[in-house]
Amino acid sequence: MTGAERRRLRPAPSARRPRGRANREGSIFPYRNGYAAYVWVITPGGERTRKWVYGKTREAVHEKWVKLQAKAEAAPVPTSVPTLAEYLTRWLDETVAPNLEPATYAYYEGMVRLYIRPALGAKRIDRIQTRDVQSWLNKLATVCQCCAQGKDAARPERKQRCCAIGACCQDYPGRRTVQAARNVLRAALTHARTSDELVTRNVASYAKVPSPPKRRRRGSVWSVEEASRFLATARDDNDPLYAAYVLILVNGLRRGEVLGLTWSSADLDGGEIEIGWQLQRIRGVLIHKKRVKTEDSDADDTVPMPDICSAALKLRRDQQDAARERAGDHWQASDLVFTTRWGTPIEPRNFNRSFGARCAKADVPRIRVHDTRHTCASLLAALDVHPRVAMRILRHAQISMTMEVYTEVPDAITRAALKKLGDSLGGGSPETPSSRTDAHGSGPAPDEAGDGQ
């Protein structure tokens, strides 16, 4: 066959097979039921490797390839993307644990384990959309967490009392809990965007925290009469934790704050207490540490104590001296106010058990230790503590916050019982010097002068 004949047999240009790639286009080729292509990229770890894209048509793959090429020229590109659950585990272990307080790690880990991972953990981190986060937040506020987390089902059958037996306790998370879960997710995605470059935007920043209707936990607040009866039974039984109960009810201390209290931070004669230490068991370790406070709140660390608190602490000092003598050489010296009979710190969970047993003995509703803070303002009102002093004790930023809860006016019998309880401790009148008015009963508290600045 001559050359002319061969040229005549060639297909026309329009019938030729299209080129597999254009200049600087990379390799685009048929793959399974579509097309595939790759771009050489630098990973966040500094390794040069291929990043692949796939699509049904050549045009779709070409569009993905162009975007990937531009992204590879601008910044490192990860070649594999983890699920949110995988990334959160790595973030907690490699970023949060080495750089933040153990208590902060425990708090973040709890939010991840209880709220974020069950709902969003299976999704790939770069495929989570704002609508996914918003849907999760909206649903979280309406789901009983006792049911969702199987709290009641995990109890022995004889102790099951709500969700496991069909009587839902309606343990809905409040707005602060929902907001905290959103904030933890936002912090993790911020690190994924800025440090690991796994996502291009933080979708949690665009989600809004819903405002669920205010729900009060059933039986979460004591009346003044119930709180007074609780303290009276502890005092009558010479309970070594009586002073701790007074502090959490009258001064609003949290469990970790009262168990971490030291004698050097309590001025019994001056009627002031510095709330600067905490005792917590975190990740299996009992930690006694200074509270982390901002500069704006450092001034609130020292708060006044009503006389009943000072008297209770003096009683506690006598109890501890007696326990030290009985223990002899086995006593482990420390500056802690509340210790075991051997001088060792009190386990937080053991404190919860003692508190529950005392509730049963006093015949008052069983509440959480933290819920006693809700009763604090009512007790302060019953003890005739001035609202300005109560504001400092409750550590409120504004007096209006105090007045919202400083409203319960107990009857004369309850007031007399509280005064008798304070007098029995040698504390005299339960009214603090800073809460007294002038001789005519109409002037402001002495330390209120100049408050109008």
pLDDT band at 301 (very low <50, low <70, confident <90, very high): confident
Dihedral class, residue 384 (left if φ above 0, else alpha if ψ from -120 to 50, else beta): left
Of 238, 245, 262, the C-alpha closest to 337 is: 262
| pLDDT reported for residue 407 | 52
Task: Note the pLDDT tens digit of each residue in 153-185.
Answer: 888 888 888 888 888 888 888 888 999 999 999
Provide the residue ranges of all domains of the chain, joining segments of one domain with +: 24-79, 84-206, 224-438
pLDDT band at 285 (very low <50, low <70, confident <90, very high): confident
Fold matches, 84-206 and 224-438: no
**Residues found in the chain:** 453
DSSP 3-state assignment of 273? strand
Task: Note the pLDDT tens digit of each residue in 34-92.
Answer: 899 888 888 777 888 888 888 889 888 888 888 888 888 887 777 778 999 999 999 99
Matching residue, tokens 């989600």: 207
| pLDDT reported for residue 22 | 55
Mean pLDDT value of segment 182-197: 91
Cβ burial 252-271 (10 Å sphere, 16+ → b, else e) = bbbbbbbbbbeeebbebeeb
CA distances from 320 to 121, 162, 219, 310 (A): 50, 40, 33, 15
Name the phi and psi angles at 307, rounded to 5.
-55, -30
Q: Of 30 and 396, which is predicted with more confidence? A: 30
Percent of all residues in the chain with a pLDDT value above 70, rounded to a whole number: 77
- State the fold for domain 84-206: DNA polymerase; domain 1 (1.10.150)
Q: Judge whether residue 219 has pLDDT over 70.
A: no
Mean pLDDT value of segment 240-259: 91
| pLDDT reported for residue 209 | 92
Task: Note the pLDDT tens digit of each residue in 320-329.
Answer: 999 999 999 9
How high does pLDDT run on average in the chain? 80
DSSP characters for 173-184? --HHHHHHHHHH
Residues whose CB is less than 8 angstroms from the CB of residue 316 and which lie 6 or more positions away in sequence, other chains included: 240, 242, 243, 337, 338
- What would the CATH number be for the domain defined by 224-438? 1.10.443.10
| pLDDT reported for residue 437 | 34
- pTM, whole model, 2 decimals? 0.65
Q: Judge whether residue 189 has pLDDT over 70.
A: yes
Q: What is the rounded CA–CA span in Å between residue 382 and residue 121?
A: 49
Strand-pair partners of 51: 39
Q: Judge whether residue 396 has pLDDT over 60.
A: yes
